[in-house]
Structure 1
Amino acid sequence: METNRLLLTQATPEDIERIMTFEQDPENRKFVFRGTYEEHLREIDDPNVGIYVVRKKESQQAIGFLIYDLDLESERFELRRVAISEKNQGFGRELFNRVFEHAFEELHMNKLWLDVYHDNEVGIHFYESLGMVREGVLRQNHKEDRGMMDQIIYSVLKDEYFEKK
């Protein structure tokens, strides 16, 4: 997959350490779940999981990653993890627009959804700016170093995507 400025390459075992570095980055670690090497290796081998390294097209420099799960029977695309190291340059919006296209136009999913911690104000604002709909809150659903965390569910349906396109 690619955009004007980004190239998304399927992750290989050689990419796992880099992905873990993005997960553990101080700017990301508060909001991005951190997987183990073994978990990422299983994700690479799972046909219902997409795990991609996000690179700048021009330099091939890795600037992030994304992981998604597919529920083919229910036509659901769960965007599990996304991290971009170069913030405020439009890469996130460019990436998400491509992911929406991939989910709805190429994979023919009915729904793309994600969860975001309640204290991730930047993420919440970003998802809302993309037109994602807040579905609800999973209250105190995940334990983190900073306590029990609410997870807010955001989604886009196929019909909504095509109406806005």
Structure 2
Amino acid sequence: MLKGTRTWIRPLDPEDLDSLYDWYNDPEFSYYTSGNWPLATLLRREEIERRFYDEDPNRYAITDLEGRLIGTIGFDQVNIPARSARLFIGIGDKLLWGKGYGSDALRTFIRYLFRQWNFHRLTVETWKRNERAVACYEKLGFVTEGILRDAYYVDGEYEDAILLGLLRQDFSMEKSCP
């Protein structure tokens, strides 16, 4: 397990499935994690279990310090020669949004990926109006590297995607999370 200032990161457990089901079928959670509701949601428990436990080996649980599940974090699109990957995160407990839990989990996970996996570069992607996510990424040192025009379809309108990147040398490994 990885310990942050406010969070723990651990492997997903079968007991997490009920919370994952609730979060990924919640319109507001899905709106901010992907900009898609209901197209990316309305998933059956079996679909979530298959995706998160069988097909997605690099997805982990985020808990508060008491061990209560509050979200998920992970990485994909690994490029071994370039030592890069794409990160993703979602805090499912809406009462904890904007309180620093996501930043803490990301900082902890980024430190782990740079130190243990020896990644050189990490990227994240979100849609333009997801201002809370963009602010969180920028606070951790990510910089906007590109825009994908009309890459998301949100509320009946096309939205630009923002691509942000973080290089190992630009990340403070020792800086504690606020």
| AA partner of residue 55 (structure 1) | T
Aligned partner letter, 1:75: R
Three-state SS of the structure 2 residue aligned to 1:98 is helix
> 1:107 aligns to what SS in structure 2?
coil
Determine which of 125, 132, 153 is the counterpart of 2:163. 153
Deviation at 1:79, TM superposition (A): 0.9
User: Structure 1: how far apart are the matches of 2:116 and 2:77?
Assistant: 13
Q: Which residue of 1 aligns with 2:22?
A: 21
Q: Which amino acid aligns with 1:111?
A: R
How many residue pairs get aligned? The number is 163
Tell me how far 1:23 sits from its aligned partner.
3.0
Q: Identify if the C-alpha distance between structure 1 residues 124 and 20 changes in structure 2 by more than 3 Å, giving closer, same or farther.
A: same
CA distance in 2, matches of 1:80, 1:45: 17
- Please tell me the residue identity of whatever aligns with 1:38: E
**Residue aligning to 1:52:** 60
1:41 aligns to what?
50
1:64 and 2:64 equivalent?
no
Provide the alpha-carbon RMSD of the alignment: 2.5
Bigger shift: 113-122 or 140-149? Answer: 140-149
Bigger relative contact order (CA 8 A; separation at least 6): 2
**Distance (whole Å) between structure 1 residues aligned to residue 92 and residue 135 of structure 2:** 16
Q: Normalization by structure 1: what TM-score?
A: 0.82
Q: Is the 8 A contact 1:49 1:69 kept in 2?
A: no
Q: Distance in 1 between matches of 2:143 and 2:114?
A: 16
| Runs of 5+ unmatched residues, structure 1 | none
- The sequence identity of aligned pairs, in percent, is 22
In structure 2, runs of 5+ residues without a counterpart are 35-39
Whole-angstrom distance in 2 between the partners of 1:96 and 1:163: 12
Sort the Cα spacing of 1:27 and 1:72 in 2 relative to 1 into closer, same or farther, 3 A.
same
Change (3 A) 1:102 1:119: same
TM-score computed with the length of structure 2 as normaliser: 0.77
| Equivalences for residues 1-165 of structure 1 within 5 A | 1-33=2-34, 34=40, 36=43, 37-38=46-47, 40-46=49-55, 49-58=57-66, 60-73=67-80, 74-85=82-93, 86-161=96-171
Distance apart, 1:44 and its partner CA = 2.5
Q: 2-side partners of 1:19 and 1:156: how far apart?
A: 28
CA shift for structure 1 position 65: 1.2
